[in-house]
Amino acid sequence: MRLKAIKLAGFKSFVDPTSVPFTTNMTGIVGPNGCGKSNTIDAVRWVMGESSAKYLRGDAMTDVIFNGSSERKPVGKCSVDLIFDNSEGKLRGEYAKYNEVAVRRQVTRDGQSTYYLNGTKCRRKDVTDLFLGTGLGPRSYAIIEQGMISRLIEAKPEELRVYVEEAAGISRYKERRRETENRMRRTQENLERLSDIREELERQLAHLQRQAQAAEKYKDLKAQEREKKAQLQALQWQTLDNDYRQREQQIGQLQVTFESHMAAQRSADADIEALRLQHGDKTEAFNQAQTRFYEVGAQIARQEQKVEHQSQMSLQLDRELADAERSLLEAQKELEQDQLQLEDVSEKRMALEPELELLEAAEEEASEALMLAEEGQRQWQDDWDQFTQRASEPTRQAEVAQTRIQNTEQQLQRLQQRRGKLQDEQHQLEHNPELEEIQLLQEQCSEQELHSEALQEQVDELQAQLQQGEQALEQRRQQLQQQRQQLQQHLNRQTTLQALQSAALGEGSESVSHWLESHQLARNPRLAEQLHVEAGWEKAVETVLGDYLQAVVLDDLDPVQHWLDSLSDGQLALSCASVGSEPAAAAQDLLSKVRSERDVSSLLHGVQVADDLAAALNRRSQLAAGQSIVTPDGIWIGRDWLRVNRQRGDEGGMLARQQELEQLAEQIEELDIDVEEAEVDLDSDQLKLRGQQQQRENAQRELQQASQKLIALRSQLAGKQARAEQFDVRRRQLQSELEEISEQQELEREQLELLREQWQEAMAAVDEDTDQREQLQLRREQVQSQLQQARGQAGQHKDRRHQLQLQLQGLNTSEDSLKQAIERLASQLQTLRQRRETIIEQQSRDHSADLTELKAQLDEMLEQRVDAEEQMQQRRKELEQVDTRLRELEQQRSDAEKHALEVRNALEKVRMECQALDIRRQALVEQLKESGLTLHEVMQAMPEQADAEQWQQELQRIAERIQRLGAINLAAIEEYQTQSERKRYLDEQNADLEKALATLEGAIHKIDRETRTRFKETFDHINSGLAELFPKVFGGGHASLELTGDDLLNTGVAIMARPPGKKNSTIHLLSGGEKALTAIALVFSIFQLNPAPFCMLDEVDAPLDDANVGRYARLVKAMSDKVQFIYITHNKIAMEMADQLMGVTMQEPGVSRLVSVDVEEAAEMID
């Protein structure tokens, strides 16, 4: 296997499609610095699956796309193809059969990376798996670039171990081990989940078992309850039926009693009607006597009212006359008192009027003095206002100046405080602690981005695996569905053929079937079921045997002679062909085409076979008596006869159907097994898919957490950067504010000096006005004293005048009131005198004669009322006698009616009870019918000693037992069976998983053994190779590999080197050139053990001198017989050793181009 060519398009500086062919095993790539030589090695590493932009000398994976130059625009995608010659078949797997394998990778600007193998899209894992064990890979020992030498030599022992593992080809073992561990983990997870399910199911089963037992017990108790309930209903029906018959007898007796009471009631009604007529006449006579009595009474009452009225009128006039005399005396007395009081009030009023006139004159004089004092006050106020207006300006100016001085001093103090705070803040901001945190966060962001990219690749890989698993699962489901459909089709076909076969065998005849059943022959086989005919001859055998195919096979025909008389109708064939080997048959006999457990030679004797009708006709003349010939299509020929059996339809004959039924039975059995196996595989795939889904979800969760962490780090970084920028902005703001404060302080100090001068000038002017202010204040006191004295005198005179005016006004009012009262009393006296005269005139009239006449009329009316009352009492007595008789008759009728009503109510009650009993009887019968029973059946099955009370107690006990069972789950029985089946299935799965886990553990142990063995063997070979090659590249000395631990699965590898003339030391103490030579020796010793298809060297000879370059070049030349070398060099000695030189130029800025030179052809041309 060797690298045949590299095709680049848009990759880094190779913007144009470029093909780099490698025709020899020694290819040197030369060119000036920066022309893009190393991009070829980056291309190989990138295609083989490198996922870190750092190893491709970039910041992001899209940096490998040509990003434009001064003359070209950027491109949208790039691709690289590696063409491998696999004619030796070193690649394994499905690509081992290809002589040429092309690996391609393509990436676009949006970050979409795609891999192809021989033009088929694939995963990155498929590419890395392709090179497992070959020594190739994105970071294998076969690619040594700039800086790779130092990383190889200075690698930690654990990192150096990777190169030994790759050389040992155990990377695929580690991959297998990792996959096996994953499978073990998934199996263990499935086992744990299954264990949880089984434990939960065991708990459910225990619970369901109790519920199922309770449900069974509940069913038994319910059955007993139904039986007892039905019998109790029958007993209740008997009781109700007896009560019903008793009620019918009571109804007859009550009807007789009711009729007798109704006859007595009708007789009382007739007597009452006759007496009511007599009662009407008596009532009319009583009403007339009563009316006369009431009329006389009314006349007496009216006469008595007249007498009473006349007596009351005389008494009323006497009282009114006495009242009028008394009121007249009181009014005369009151009039005299008012006249005396009026004279007193007039005298007082006349005495107050002269005093009022004197007070009014004194008040006028006091008012004039008050006006003069007020005028003096106004004059002083004007003088004071003029003074204060003139003297307030200096005071105001002094106050204003003082206030401004205080404000300025406070402002200076605030500025000084602000300056101190700003200086403190400025001192705090001199050191920005965010810068170190920003640097740390930037590093964390870079690491987290790499981690997120790796997780994203893991998620993509798991997603691809999950998609493949889902596709495989869907294929498995489809396959299972197809198998089930095929199984169902076979079952349908089997059912159809069985029906046809049953009809053909005569199983439809009822009389024959009954005869066979009665003689226990129905299960005996038919002859057609025991014949096995060679394919193609079924119709021939069926034609010859005909109805004998339906024959029932017996061991002996002798007993049949006694049975045949019982067969009244139908066709029957019996065969007693003996069990054993059949006699040998000639190849031309039909018997040779038939195999059977029984001897059927007697049925096929003399029948020969021919391949077609023509052959049969040709042999017809050779037939002896009793011989015949039959063809495969069923044409049967004798010497002088021919018989053809043609059937409609496509179901074939009886024998063909029998063979097809047998084949179907075998196929159905196989399909059943296949379906069961497919279901098990489907369950296993589903478990595996759930495990893959869980892995993907875990990976996605990790990716999401990593993304969130990256976002959080970026957010913190942005916040820190923003705060750092705020620090700088704030420092500049503080400096600017401090400068402004200094300027403002200087201005405030100048303003303060000016204000202090203004305040001193204002205070001097205030001192000059102090004397004049004191004189004005003394004058104000004198004016205010005079004003207060004048106001006091004027107020006294005014108050006294007001009091006299009020007194005078009161006297005038009293005088007017007394005059009005005197006039009113005079009028009242006149009225009272007139009333007294009127009463005296009324009393003088004679009322005695009228009163005597009225009393005589009253006595006469009283005598008339006595006569009317006697007559009314006589009529009442007669009426009461009739009423008494009427009440007696009505009582008799009421008693009869009452008794009839009681009997009727009793009758209705008995009828209702009877009806209720009948309804209850019918209801019990209907309840029994609903239970699927009849009254007659229950009565017959019921014990004779059955008692309703005892049965009721039994039902109560059964109900209590059911009640004690509690809540019943009737579905628990079926559910318990279902869950038990599931438990058994899960137990089987658990056993399978445990067995699989044990198998995987055994595989792990086997892989570990093989890994240890191959690693130790490889380590020893590489160590030997290193000890052999080291002296060659150094011209002497010694080097070896050492293990850092005892565990061959995890131990690290260290290099110990001793160049010529130096003591043994670790590789880290060597010079750069010595390290490079040691690395070359190590790589070449690995090549000797497990040569990689090619080796790429990127200026590894740069630190070497010419002598060492020569040794290095000769070693490469010697190994090129087995290994393809592609190296980049600037050294002329190394260039001379190359069989092919590839020149990389950059004539156009930023664009690499390739020039190839075959050194041998060039040498021949020179020669």
Segment holding 457, helix H or strand E: helix 434-504
* CA 106 – CA 43 distance, rounded (Å): 11
The gap from C-alpha 1120 to its chain's centroid, in whole angstroms, comes to: 67
Question: Please, what is the end-to-end C-alpha distance for the chain in angstroms?
Answer: 33
Query: What are the DSSP calls for 882-949, one per residue?
Result: HHHHHHHHHHHHHHHHHHHHHHHHHHHHHHHHHHHHHHHHHHHHHHHHHTT--HHHHHHHS-TT--HH
Which has the closest alpha carbon to 1037: 1015, 1019, 1000, 1063?
Answer: 1063
* CA 1072 – CA 150 distance, rounded (Å): 8
1023 labeled binding residue: no
Answer yes or no: are the C-beta atoms of 415 and 744 closer than 8 Å: yes
Residue 676, token pair as written in the block: 């069961």
Segment holding 717, helix H or strand E: helix 654-768
* CA 36 – CA 844 distance, rounded (Å): 169
Answer yes or no: are the C-beta atoms of 202 and 983 closer than 8 Å: yes
Length of the chain, in residues? 1167
Which has the closest alpha carbon to 146: 41, 22, 45?
Answer: 41
Which residue is associated with the tokens 């052999």?
1028
445 labeled binding residue: no
For residue 446, what is the DSSP state? H
3-class DSSP assignment, residue 851: helix
Which residue is associated with the tokens 């079952």?
491
Can you name the residues that pair with 1141 across neighbouring β-strands?
28, 1157
35 labeled binding residue: yes
* CA 893 – CA 887 distance, rounded (Å): 10
* CA 563 – CA 521 distance, rounded (Å): 11
Which residue is associated with the tokens 């969760």?
701
Which has the closest alpha carbon to 695: 338, 185, 221?
Answer: 185
Q: Which residues fall within 8 angstroms of residue 835, CB to CB, at 6 or more apart? A: 320, 324
Answer yes or no: are the C-beta atoms of 1109 and 1145 closer than 8 Å: no
Answer yes or no: are the C-beta atoms of 1055 and 160 closer than 8 Å: yes
* CA 157 – CA 58 distance, rounded (Å): 28
33 labeled binding residue: yes
37 labeled binding residue: yes
Answer yes or no: are the C-beta atoms of 951 and 232 closer than 8 Å: yes
Segment holding 228, helix H or strand E: helix 171-428
Segment holding 128, helix H or strand E: helix 124-130
* CA 71 – CA 156 distance, rounded (Å): 46
Which residue is associated with the tokens 């009849």?
934
Which residue is associated with the tokens 């319910």?
222
638 labeled binding residue: no
Residues annotated within a binding site: 32-39
Residues annotated within a binding site for ATP: 32-39
